[in-house]
Amino acid sequence: MLRIRVTDARMMALQRQGRIGFYGEAVGQEAAVVGSAAVSEPQDWIVPALREAGVGLYRGMTTDSYIAQIYGNAADPTKGRQMPCHPCDREHQYVVMSSCVSTQIPHAVGIAMAMKIAGDRGKVCFGYMGDGGTSEGDFHVAVNFAGVSKAPCVLICQNNQWAISTPGTLQTAAETIALKGVGYGVEAIRADGNDVLAVYHAVAYAADKARRGDGPTFVELLTYRVSAHTSSDDPSRYRDESVTEIWRGQRDPIRRLETYLVKRGWLAAGEREAIAEQIEADVRDAIARQEAIAPPALETLIEDVFEEPTWLLREQLAAIADGPRVKSPHHR
Ligand SMILES: Cc1ncc(C[n+]2csc(CCOP(=O)(O)OP(=O)(O)O)c2C)c(N)n1
């Protein structure tokens, strides 16, 4: 959880310094991210939305790979084609997200349906979304299919109570987001998304059920988007930030876990700060390494579409190669 907190803070600083283009934090949502990630097994698939990079990191995506993808440099496995904050990791079965809200949920359910058809007992697909995502048609199609096919998926809504400037009260007239699963015959659970143990408990129940072949569960994790929607947003223009302060303070998931660990005698006073310092040093080293890597080679522009690039693509590449190249401000 601290790794996400510290990495996000560094990335936001880089964005403000003009060194990366865009960033979306998961501040205040770390318990939902890590509590659910901890349930996943290597054979599972993860289909994330915007705030689950920490699930990828938990499963083994390296900080270097994450940062390479934010810079879009030559070490970026997606060759600089994705937006920052849309990471992927093939080895750890962490699928790249689509910017189009909720298009990933049919993908998650489809992967789970394929697992079931292939007889892959014991594998689960985790599909994530935000509260705003549950108003999209894709969400309803996907949950319906999950229910009918009894696909081995766990659909997780991080209800952070805001979809950019739209509050939860304007998002739905339903009493809870979880209720939306019930209408499709999918068992639904609502848990405290800022309590990492409650998250783990709820998601473990859902994942165990899916592994047994007993079908999907829709899990709503109640949390709060403490930060702005992204680095392009200023929430003070549309919401009462005194409410945000309550979530940032006493309801902070890291502070809650720290209190618990200290009371149990599992964490010493000052240990949290020491861990955070070590993480920050690691992140700073990774930034230095990744910032030094050049952008992807020009030829990569025409790769991965056809097995052999067509004459037209080759001609276009030659035309660009001969032209002037403008250096991106994000590549020093
Ligand atoms: C189909 C679609 N509509 C609108 C947008 C613009 N948009 C990007 S993020 C977002 C809000 C998403 O809110 P939510 O699903 O609650 O997730 P959160 O960002 O709060 O984690 C919107 C409307 C989009 N990317 N895709």
For residue range 125-140, what is the model confidence (pLDDT) as tens digits? 999 999 999 999 999 9
Residues belonging to the active site? 225, 229, 238
Q: Is 229 in the pocket of ligand 1 (CB under 6 A)?
A: yes
Question: Cα 136–142–148 angle (5° rounding)?
Answer: 140
Write out the residue range of the structural domain in which residue 326 sits: 298-332
Instruction: Report pLDDT for 330.
Output: 61
Residue 332: predicted pLDDT: 55
CB of 99 sitting under 6 A from ligand 1? yes
Q: Is 33 in the pocket of ligand 1 (CB under 6 A)?
A: no
Residue 331 and residue 195 share a domain: no
C-beta of 101 in contact with ligand 1 (< 6 A): yes
Same domain, 285 and 327: no
Clarify whether residues 190 and 322 are in a common domain: no
Nearest residue (by CA) to ligand 1, atom 8, is 101
Is residue 216 located within the same domain as residue 322? no
User: Does 200 sit in the ligand 1 pocket, CB within 6 Å?
Assistant: no
Residue with tokens 């047994």: 212
Question: Are 174 and 199 in the same domain?
Answer: yes
Model pLDDT for residues 149-182, shown as the tens digit of each residue: 999 999 999 999 999 999 999 999 999 999 999 9
182 and 307 together in one domain: no
Query: According to the model, what pLDDT value does residue 322 have?
Result: 82
| pLDDT tens-digit map of 284-305 | 999 999 999 999 999 999 999 8
Q: What is the CATH number of the domain that holds 170?
A: 3.40.50.970
Atom of ligand 1 nearest to the CA of 51: 21
pLDDT reported for residue 324 = 75
Q: Do 147 and 182 touch, CB atoms closer than 8 A?
A: no
SS3 track for the chain: CHHHHHHHHHHHHHHHCCCCCCCCCCCCCHHHHHHHHCCCCCCCEEECCCCCHHHHHHHCCCHHHHHHHHHCCCCCCCCCCCCCCCCCECCCCECCCCCCCCCHHHHHHHHHHHHHHCCCCCCCEEEEEECHHHHCHHHHHHHHHHHHHCCCEEEEEEECCEECCEEHHHHCCCCCCCHHHHCCCCEEEEEECCCHHHHHHHHHHHHHHHHHCCCCEEEEEECCCCCCCCCCCCHHHCCCHHHHHHHHCCCCHHHHHHHHHHHHCCCCCCHHHHHHHHHHHHHHHHHHHHHCCCCCCHHHHHCCCCCCCCHHHHHHHHHHHHCCCCCCCCCC
Q: Are residues 198 and 308 in the same domain?
A: no
Cα(96) to centroid of ligand 1, in Å? 16
Cα-to-centroid distance, 315 and ligand 1 (Å): 38
Q: Are residues 182 and 48 in the same domain?
A: yes
Mean pLDDT per block of 10 residues along the chain (332 residues) reads 98 97 97 98 98 98 98 96 94 96 98 97 97 98 98 98 98 97 98 98 98 98 98 97 97 98 95 97 98 95 93 93 72 56
> How far, in Å, is the centroid of ligand 1 from the Cα of 39?
26
Q: Which residue's C-alpha comes closest to atom 21 of ligand 1?
A: 130
Which pLDDT score is estimated for 321? 87
Report whether residue 181 contacts ligand 1, using a CB cutoff of 6 Å: no
Residues 314 and 166 in one domain: no
44 and 108 both lie in a single domain: yes
Based on the fold, state whether residues 307 and 186 are members of the same structural domain: no
Q: Look at residue 269 in the predicted model and tell me its pLDDT.
A: 86
Looking at the structure of the chain, the number of domains it has is 2
- Domain shared by 189 and 302, yes or no: no
ipTM for the predicted complex comes to: 0.99
Q: Report the separation in Å between the CA atom of 80 and the middle of ligand 1, taken as the mean of its atom positions.
A: 22
